[in-house]
Amino acid sequence: LRVHLKNTGTGASLDNLGLFYDRGDNNWRKVSKTSPVFTANGSGCTNLLWTCTNVSADFSDYGAKSQLAYDKNGNPWIVSTQASINSNDLYVANYVGVGGNCASSKWNCDTVDNIGSSNTQASIQFDRSGTAYISKYDNNATSLEIMKYVGSGGSGCSSTDWTCTVVDNTGSVGNGSNLSVDLNNNPHISYYD
């Protein structure tokens, strides 16, 4: 088996790159000069190998303790709280490409819960069908909550796009929660008691 990778770029700074691997003798053979692996074509960041986007400038102190996950279509979703100690808001931003309602129209922003979410770490994951789940510590009720994205008709949250359920409220429980969903679409949460 032989694999051939070739850079056919043009210009003084781009040399063609031919690279062969032969499984028969387990050796890589470089047949011409190498070219840079990365090109600095990003934007918005100090390091132009990256692209930075201000997702939501319209919410004060938005983005604290954020966590990122990808849905089944490969689109990123971000869950975060406000940095202010007086804030009780938990936000979710999901990438939609066009027509979003965030500072960047490529994203949709939603205030999932504005009761008791102050300065807590939330965790977001998706099941195999693409449904989003969030676990979080309710700072006011000192309890562990799970939130499920339902699109509409939800209950227990500030947004009817989500359904919020208290999982455990025996004492002060739920801080530092971490959520995962198994192959049978069952959510599992580890947390501090």
Amino acid, single-letter form, for residue 120: T
Residue 127, pLDDT > 60, answer: yes
Other C-beta atoms within 10 Å of 154: how many? 18
Per the model's pLDDT, the better-predicted residue between 112 and 27 turns out to be 112
Q: What is the pLDDT of residue 111?
A: 85
Amino acid at position 12, single letter: A
67-125: per-residue pLDDT in tens?
A: 899 999 899 999 887 665 556 678 889 999 999 988 888 999 888 887 655 556 789 99
Dihedral sign from CA coordinates of 100, 101, 107, 112: negative
Of 27 and 74, the one with more pLDDT: 74
Q: Which DSSP string do the residues of 114-172 spell out, in sequence order?
A: -SS-TT---EEEE-TT--EEEEEEETTTTEEEEEEE-SSS--SSSSTTEEEEEEE-SSS
Cα gap 81→91, rounded to integer Å: 6
Label residue 176 by pLDDT band (50, 70, 90).
confident
pTM above threshold 0.85: no
Nearest to 75 by CA among 99, 57, 96, 100: 96
State the amino acid at position 105 in one-letter form: S
Greater model confidence, 29 or 142: 142
pLDDT digits (tens, 9 = 90+) for 36-72: 445 567 787 888 878 888 887 555 556 667 889 999 9
State how far the Cα of 10 lies from the Cα of 111, in Å rounded to an integer: 49
Q: Is the pLDDT of residue 179 over 50?
A: yes
